[in-house]
Structure 1
Amino acid sequence: MKKYKMYRRWMLNAVKNELVPKLGEQEFERVFLKGEEKKQLEQFYPFGKFQRFRGDVVDILEIQFPQYGYPEFRIGAGTVAKSGYEHQIFGHIAAKDVWVGYLIPYYSFYAIPFTGRWFSVPFYSFRKLNEEDFSAYVIKISAALVNEINEALIHDRRGKHTRKCG
């Protein structure tokens, strides 16, 4: 649907303008997708992934969007040693090549963790959404999300949007 494409663009812009800078303030650096990875994953991870170096570990963070449908997102985050990760199937993976889904354990951040509901602007059938609705929603949740991400990665504490996986 045309409407959902427009909503997706608005959600991407809101995340880019409101959440990504807050991650930058917490020393997360954006790692852009390249080559084959970009072709396969750009729809799901339009911002690539983010890395933050802390002592002898690397914090990895991903903002995932669905390919189709109403625009929503969830965040995955985890920690890997700078020396890399020993995966059960793939063997040794360099820290720079690790994705959150490879890690055991890792954290997922949802609007409602118990049900796995992704972050999305509430849809009102009686009112047309506009770009400001998406921006206001992301502004509203950004500060709390960044704090919860730090609490999970640094102190292994769960907040109201956090689910520990694996």
Structure 2
Amino acid sequence: MHVSYIARFLHLPLLLLLLVVIGCRTETSERFDERKQSVRQGENTRKQKRGNEQYNKSFHKSHAKNRKAPSDAPNRDFGSSSATGRVPKKAFDVLAHVRQYDRAPEGYVGGRRFGNFEQHLPRQDTEGRRIEYREWDVNPRERGRNRGTERLVTGSDGRAWYTDDHYNSFIQLK
């Protein structure tokens, strides 16, 4: 009688153990699926970034034909702010905001890296350090409208440049 009593209840701990194992396995597989999905999304993001970089490089190469050949001089003259008649006040306003707050004014697009692929701007500062550039829109963003061709480009050396023809030519601002 004693054996049958134990046998009768022996299946309960085994059943409980089985349920725990199945439950853990389901939870683990759900976490695995979530992780797998986030890895896929990360791969897609990297592929998209790579694709955008490829597009940007090909875009700049295809437009380089229409641009002037760069000079080897690191600090060549690209124009000066003495030609301020050609530079609108709004460009100086955006530049003042960028220099003060290190971000685009509210409602403007800006702060992205500018590659200087055509090397229209100096590559190095006076001490030979590589200059990093960022671009800023001169006009506020309007939904459903093209951003136009006017841009402001700021360099890590403190200089700023204005273009009204989408990077074909630049005027240095002071």
Tell me if both proteins adopt one fold, taking TM over 0.5 as the criterion: no
TM-score by structure 1 length?
Answer: 0.31
Report the structure number with the largest CA radius of gyration. Answer: 2
Q: Which structure ranks higher in relative contact order (CA pairs < 8 Å, sequence separation ≥ 6)?
A: 1
Provide TM-score, normalisation by structure 2. 0.30
